[in-house]
Amino acid sequence: MGLYVGSLIFFLMNKKKISEAFLVAGFVLYTLSQVSRGWFVGTVTPIAIVEGVFFLPWCLASLLLSLKLFKKEGSFLDTPLILLCFFALIALVYPKGVIPVSPYTNTIYSTLFFFFEIFAHACFVLGAWFGFLYIRGKEKSTLFNSLVIWGFILYSVAQVVGAIWCYLGWATLFDWSERHMQSATIWCFYAAYLHLHLMPSWDMKRRAVFSLAGACIVVIFSYSSHVIEMNMQRLGG
């Protein structure tokens, strides 16, 4: 967390190389911390690694580093450091313990579901950030659009894996429950986004506003369930 904040401070001081070094160092340490969560209870529990609050900052940082590696230079690629610090700060104050494993979570499907879902969330959130910059005229690239589309694809993969997990465990593919309906809300919302390119009146600026609204829904839904999970029994931490 300190390294991420350091990276942000050096970015604001216009010391780009040092900022990048701090970001990479922060990412390496955060990765080690995430991996160690998997062994936190004394046995391998991969689902602990992909717990939303802790995994989202990792996904954001990995996306950010990948973009910096593969995209053209641009100072706008450093601005999501603010976002990264914000979500890492939430992870810092959140209970660190691991939710005990149950026979329901002891499957590769649960881990894969959360992996793809949180990665999709990261794409939506980062897409909205770049969309925000686009609205303000600070950035001309439509990178936000690609991120939102990739977010939707990853979210669809998560829903397929989640459906298999749900069927094996609960004998259904869709449940009339808060969690499933919120997932369907997000999927339909971004499915609507995918159709915007066919409507000429929806230019990139309006699409950016739409992506911003989508990220708000995603963050409100996921963090409202994280708040509930704070009261769950946890091991260690």
Partner 1 sequence: MFKRLWNFFADVRLTFWLLLSISALLMVGSFYVKVYPHTFKPLNELLFQDWYRLYGGSNPLKLWWLFILLALLFALGMNTAVCTVTRLKSLWLSRKQMGLRKFGFKITPSVIHICFLVMLSGHFLSMVTGYTSLTAIVPGKKIFVSKETTIEILDKQCDYHTSPASLRGLVSQCTVALKSKTTGLHDYKQVSILEPAFLQGYSLHLGMDKKSEITRLKLTVKRDHGLKLILPGFLILTLLLLWYYPQIHRDMKNGKKEGL
Residue ranges in contact with partner 1 by CB under 8 A: 41-43, 100-104, 106-107, 145-146, 149-150, 152-153, 156-157, 159-160, 163-165, 167-178, 181-182, 184-186, 188-189, 191-192, 194-199, 217, 235-236
2 vs 178, beta carbon nearer partner 1: 178
CB of 43 to partner 1, least distance (A): 6
60 vs 186, beta carbon nearer partner 1: 186
82 vs 106, beta carbon nearer partner 1: 106
Beta bridge partners of 123: none
Please report, for residues 147, 171, 228, 231, the alpha-carbon distance to residue 95 in angstroms, rounded to integers and kept in the order given: 30, 32, 12, 9
| Residue 117 · residue 58 · CB < 8 Å | no
CB of 58 to partner 1, least distance (A): 23
CB of 181 to partner 1, least distance (A): 4
| Local structure of 201: helix, strand or coil | coil
Residues 6+ positions from 127 with CB-CB distance below 8 Å: 143, 144, 145, 146, 147, 148, 151, 211, 215
CB of 14 to partner 1, least distance (A): 31
35 vs 174, beta carbon nearer partner 1: 174
Listed residue (59, 66, 62, 64) closest to 114, CA to CA: 59
